[in-house]
Structure 1
Amino acid sequence: MGCICSRETVQINSRKYYVRERLGEGGFSTVDLVEDAHSHKIYAVKKIICHGEADQKVAMKEVEYYGLLKHPNVIECFDSALKAGPNPFLNSTSEVMIVLPYYKSGTLASELERRSVRREYMSSAEILSMFLQICEGVKAFHEAKPEPLSHRDLKTANILISGDRSPIIMDLGSVAVARVKVCGSSEAQQLQDLASERCSMSYRAPELFNVESYCMIDERTDIWSLGCVLYAMCYFKSPFDAVYERGDSVALAAISGNITFPESSPYNSEIHELILYMLKANPMERPYIYSVIEKTHDVISTIEVKA
């Protein structure tokens, strides 16, 4: 048993935390499970490593978005700090640290993985109840002031499950202003590169794979991702995961908009129609979040009547 004073500690503003374990690691950040040295409460600390001013600006923007988005289905931020100055061990110029709640149930992705092994499907009622809450969280992004925001990386791995089984949208690192007018090939390429860096392939909207030189991108990129999330809640994986695993082109599969459902599906046609309603390859044919919520309520009512 090691002495408590030998534990790795993190200082964020006036509070000290003991690092208990590493929860996750990405290309831009790490997440540690920590214990408040004073209250002994457990938190997750996200540490974003910045390699220059541009990185730092993006990280601080993420902190700003936590302040803007106050919703029960969007993760909250308890505290944050910018640690300026170079760190030769991390090859960084600064670090941004964000104190977040810790959910011991983990992510929707990890639950679906466990269920997949046992082929243990969720009931239609549970799926739709959870999905409706995810939609309400997404609506908070799309209604943000002064201008609508898009999450841009909605996927089952970015949805946590709270103690009462509520879904909590996390990871605001990919959040961006929703409505982007693209004027010219260099702007299109810039947005395409950003999407390939920050938006997971199996959940990425078709218009972000091949951004046209003159177009309008809006919050309906998230609606496509929501369609993929609902499909995964039913069948454990996004409709494009199998394409990715085979090494085939996810971009071509998404642009074709050809979605198939397992023959032995335990779900009725209304749920399939709701998924297809969101997975329109042409973004102009895709609904806004309000229509998705309305249609989800309709499907819930239909299922209740049939039951």
Structure 2
Amino acid sequence: MWRFKPFMPKEQTGLEGRTIDIGNLKVHVRNAIAEGGFSCVYLARDVLHGSKQYALKHIIVNDEESLDLVLKEISVMKSLKGHPNIVTLHAHAILDVGRTKEALLVMEYCDQSLVSVLENRGAGFFEEKQVLLIFRDVCNAVFAMHCQSPPIAHRDLKAENLLLGSDGLWKLCDFGSTSTNHKRFEKPEEMGIEEDNIRKHTTPAYRAPEMWDLYRRELINEKVDIWALGCLLFRICYFKSAFDGESKLQVLNGNYRIPELPKYRASIIDLIRDMLQSSPDARPDITQASALLDWPFICINLGVVPCKWSVA
């Protein structure tokens, strides 16, 4: 079995140039393309089929909590395999390395993220058709998660977690933050645990009001993704965040402003407002959100044929 030394954040891991067997795949590890606190993503090439490239995610698993996150990510990706707007998991392995474990996830390679596309466009805003294409793909991915039983909430929808596939479709990634534990938190000790989870596994700029203030005692469920979709649609349209992200009061008070330019159809602006309702009960679900944009009409105009996963 493949063995290698754990790496520290921001240091070279030594995986470059190695050939590793993971599941039924043999991959040659090339350069690192992304880094996190305890993870690193590499570009890898299929040894038997040299034209195939993968993203190899290497995760240091220091404790039971981080192991649970890895297992959750694997489970969700396997349950959604085949969805055109979910990054495909091709193979995975969890290795014992001394006192720790290390996880290897071989995933579909996508060479751009939505955040990199937004940052590289300068002042060139998207045309309405481009906005709808991106948002359609995101909604299809969220629909597939929310129609599971129980619904799977992603809980960290953001531009960084949307990747552009080689097939031209936008794909959702990073499923370690997902949850099916939908509940109101009543007891202080439960609130403390959930507040810690929220702080560690969600992004402030996309965090719903009920996650900022558990003492509102509102149901925390998949509607947190609808709020995040509102923030995401705002960013796709205007290239900036609806909220500063660090301002709890700004979010709780719904203090944001729709810019005058660029101009988009009223249905898009109305959808942003509907998804950014402070109360989760007032927000549409993913099917309603799609209907508000007249989804069948949009699919026809974009030349899209809805697939079995589609909200259409």
Q: Which residue in 2 is equivalent to 1:89?
A: none
| Rounded Cα–Cα distance in structure 2 between residues aligned with 1:110 and 1:293 | 26
Q: Which one of the candidate residues 129, 143, 156 is aligned to 1:139?
A: 143
| Rounded Cα–Cα distance in structure 1 between residues aligned with 2:154 and 2:294 | 23
Q: Which residue in 1 is equivalent to 2:113?
A: 107
2:210–2:218 Cα contact (<8 Å) kept:
no
Q: 1:58 to 1:282 in 2, by over 3 A?
A: same
Q: Secondary structure at the match of 1:174?
A: coil
Q: 1:153 to 1:289 in 2, by over 3 A?
A: same
Q: Which residue in 1 is equivalent to 2:284?
A: 287
Q: Which residue in 1 is equivalent to 2:6?
A: none
Q: 1:299 to 1:156 in 2, by over 3 A?
A: farther
Q: Which residue in 2 is equivalent to 1:125?
A: 129
Residue 175 of structure 1 aligns with an amino acid whose one-letter code is: T
Q: 1:29 to 1:45 in 2, by over 3 A?
A: same
| Rounded Cα–Cα distance in structure 2 between residues aligned with 1:299 and 1:206 | 31
Residue 48 (structure 1) shift: 1.7
Q: Which one of the candidate residues 49, 52, 57 is aligned to 2:63?
A: 52
| Rounded Cα–Cα distance in structure 2 between residues aligned with 1:163 and 1:55 | 31
* Larger displacement relative to structure 2 (49-58 or 151-160): 49-58
Residue 231 of structure 1 aligns with an amino acid whose one-letter code is: F
Residue 14 (structure 1) shift: 4.7
Q: Counterparts in 2 of 1:182-261, with a 5 A limit? A: 182-212=185-215, 214-240=217-243, 243-244=244-245, 249-261=246-258
Q: TM-score, normalised by structure 1?
A: 0.86
1:17–1:36 Cα contact (<8 Å) kept:
yes
Residue 169 of structure 1 aligns with an amino acid whose one-letter code is: L
Q: Counterparts in 2 of 1:16-95, with a 5 A limit? A: 16-40=26-50, 41-70=52-81, 71-86=83-98, 93-95=100-102
| Rounded Cα–Cα distance in structure 2 between residues aligned with 1:132 and 1:178 | 26
Residue 136 of structure 1 aligns with an amino acid whose one-letter code is: N
| Rounded Cα–Cα distance in structure 2 between residues aligned with 1:210 and 1:27 | 27
Q: Secondary structure at the match of 1:183?
A: coil
| Rounded Cα–Cα distance in structure 2 between residues aligned with 1:287 and 1:166 | 25
Residue 210 of structure 2 aligns with an amino acid whose one-letter code is: E
Residue 62 (structure 1) shift: 1.2
Q: 1:299 to 1:254 in 2, by over 3 A?
A: farther
Q: Secondary structure at the match of 1:139?
A: helix
Number of matched pairs: 283
Residue 99 of structure 1 aligns with an amino acid whose one-letter code is: V
Q: Which residue in 1 is equivalent to 2:151?
A: 148
1:10 aligns to 2:20 (yes or no): yes
Q: Secondary structure at the match of 1:81?
A: strand
* Larger displacement relative to structure 2 (287-296 or 11-20): 11-20
- Larger proportion of helix: 1
Identical pairs, percent = 33
Q: Which one of the candidate residues 260, 264, 271 is aligned to 1:263?
A: 260
| Rounded Cα–Cα distance in structure 2 between residues aligned with 1:271 and 1:142 | 22
| Rounded Cα–Cα distance in structure 2 between residues aligned with 1:129 and 1:300 | 13
Residue 28 (structure 1) shift: 3.7
1:68–1:144 Cα contact (<8 Å) kept:
no
| Rounded Cα–Cα distance in structure 2 between residues aligned with 1:182 and 1:121 | 41
Q: Secondary structure at the match of 2:21?
A: strand
Residue 298 (structure 1) shift: 6.1
Residue 68 (structure 1) shift: 1.1
Q: TM-score, normalised by structure 2?
A: 0.84
1:185–1:212 Cα contact (<8 Å) kept:
no
Residue 166 (structure 1) shift: 1.5
**RMSD of aligned residue pairs (Cα, Å):** 2.1
Q: 1:141 to 1:268 in 2, by over 3 A?
A: same
**Deviation by residue 1:109-140 (Cα, 9 ceiling, x = unmatched):** 1101111x2x1111112211321221111011
Residue 178 (structure 1) shift: 5.2
- Structure 2 unaligned residues grouped into runs of 5+: 1-15, 302-312
**Deviation by residue 1:165-209 (Cα, 9 ceiling, x = unmatched):** 311011111111152242311111211111111111111111111
